[in-house]
Amino acid sequence: MNIQIIVGSVREGRAAIKVAEWILNTINALEFHTVSAEIVDLKAWDLPIFAGPHSPMSGIYDQPKQQEWADQIAKGHAFIFISPEYNHGYSPALKNALDYLAKEWQGKPAAYVSYGATNGSRSIDQIRQVGTQLGMIDTNSVFEMRDIFKRNQEDHIVGSDFEKQLIEKIVNTLIQYANT
């Protein structure tokens, strides 16, 4: 089973990449025998604003970058979306990445990690709505990170024992939903 950790922020100095690296390291340390995890960084993908002539719901992907993105997402069996909270919502880069595709998201379980002034709660609410509309399975796995502004000043995110247990629970839930 492949879990893709989608880094939904492209800003300079972003905490999202540090959070993703910590989650990946935590998953790897837990030594799940049936799970591989990878970081999918939207900054590296540099997806232009979607402006194709066909709705992604049509299944016609006539832009090369769109087909590459579809091929990447199709390899995932489950997703952990990481997004900061911007102005009571989630990042526009993540919204654009979600809107690029349709069938590749459908029927796959999703978990959500966010942070910000209210620990990302409003961001997660919005991503969940879009994920549900795209046909993803909402596993109700949510992680609202606290103290991100302080934590982002360090080179790496260090999670508490409670947070590590939460990641383990999230992964177990994704496995359960992906295997049903």
What is the pLDDT tens value at each position of the chain, 180 positions in all?
999 999 999 999 888 999 999 999 999 999 888 999 999 999 999 999 999 899 999 989 988 899 999 999 999 999 999 999 888 889 999 999 999 999 999 999 999 999 877 777 889 999 999 999 999 999 999 998 877 666 666 787 888 899 999 999 999 999 999 987
Asked whether the beta carbons of 93 and 127 are under 8 A apart, the reply is no
CA-to-CA distance for 62 and 126, rounded, in angstroms? 28
pTM score: 0.94
* Residue 128: Cβ within 10 Å count: 18
Q: Label each residue of 40-102 as H, E or C.
A: EEHHHHCCCCCCCCCCHHHCCCCCHHHHHHHHHHHCCCEEEEEEECECCECCHHHHHHHHCCC
Asked whether the beta carbons of 167 and 23 are under 8 A apart, the reply is yes
CA-to-CA distance for 134 and 131, rounded, in angstroms? 5
As beta bridge partners, residue 142 has 112
Go through the chain and tell me how many residues it has.
180
The domain spans of the chain are 2-178
In this prediction, residue 152 carries a pLDDT of 63
Query: What type of residue sits at position 83?
Result: S
Domain 2-178 has CATH 3.30.465.10: no
In this prediction, residue 164 carries a pLDDT of 94
In this prediction, residue 74 carries a pLDDT of 97
In this prediction, residue 149 carries a pLDDT of 64
In this prediction, residue 2 carries a pLDDT of 97
The DSSP secondary-structure symbol of 33 reads T
